[in-house]
Amino acid sequence: MTDLKPWKTLNSTVVLDRRPWMRVFSEDVQLPDGRVVQGYLRLETPDYAVIVPVDRENRVGLIRSYKRGVDAVDVQPPAGLIEPGEDPLLAAQRELLEETGCRAEHWLPLGAYILGGNFCGGHAHIFLATGCLQVAEPDSGDLEEQEVLWWPVERVRQRWRRGDFRQLGSVAALGLALAHLEDGHA
């Protein structure tokens, strides 16, 4: 395979600082062939966890709420920001409990993925949580009004395939989780 060299950062300037939500850097970078690109943008957003919870009746737990980014009501797996320094699995367990009132018997990490290859952004840490059991009432503390739905796996698969889930992170997480459930590796 070709030897591909990284780009070199010549300098980096913060052009927007709205921590903890977002920081944007403008950077001059040097490509391996010597060319310099000025003002290449880099976005910093918090890492977050996406959880696909499955209960003992083989139903998938989903959250229905108005999402500002979609500007519509959307259905998605439970998800939430990881606090600085927090272990992604512990954040996922906390979010699942807050959003659905559930604890899971088994947690399978399905990888951590970056929002965009060009401009960066935080990582989405994806988990499959099986053997979910309700132990409390949901209490998300989120700004959004929300509703918990438990849908049969097959219904989730159909809706996923036909493009009903509106967010990239939902689609990535459900695809991986469904493949693992199908092969019985969960």
- Of 83, 105, 139, 145, the one binding a second copy (CB under 8 A) is 145
By CB under 8 A, is residue 113 in contact with a second copy? yes
The CB-of-159 to a second copy minimum distance in angstroms stands at 11
By CB under 8 A, is residue 57 in contact with a second copy? no
Respond yes or no on whether the N-terminal peptide bond of residue 20 is cis (omega within 30° of 0).
yes
By CB under 8 A, is residue 169 in contact with a second copy? yes
By CB under 8 A, is residue 78 in contact with a second copy? no
Which H/E stretch holds residue 173? Answer: helix 168-182
By CB under 8 A, is residue 108 in contact with a second copy? no
Which residue from 116, 113, 119 is spatially nearest to 29, judged by alpha carbons?
A: 119
By CB under 8 A, is residue 59 in contact with a second copy? no
The CB-of-126 to a second copy minimum distance in angstroms stands at 8
Nearer to a second copy, 38 or 133 (CB): 38
By CB under 8 A, is residue 186 in contact with a second copy? no
* Range in contact with a second copy (rule: CB under 8 A) among 51-59, 85-93, 96-104, 112-120: 112-120
Question: Are the C-beta atoms of 142 and 148 separated by less than 8 Å?
Answer: no
* C-alpha angle 175-181-186 in degrees, rounded to nearest 5: 120
By CB under 8 A, is residue 179 in contact with a second copy? yes
Per DSSP (E only), the strands in 31-105 are 36-44, 48-55, 59-67, 72-76, 79-81, 102-103
Which H/E stretch holds residue 179? Answer: helix 168-182
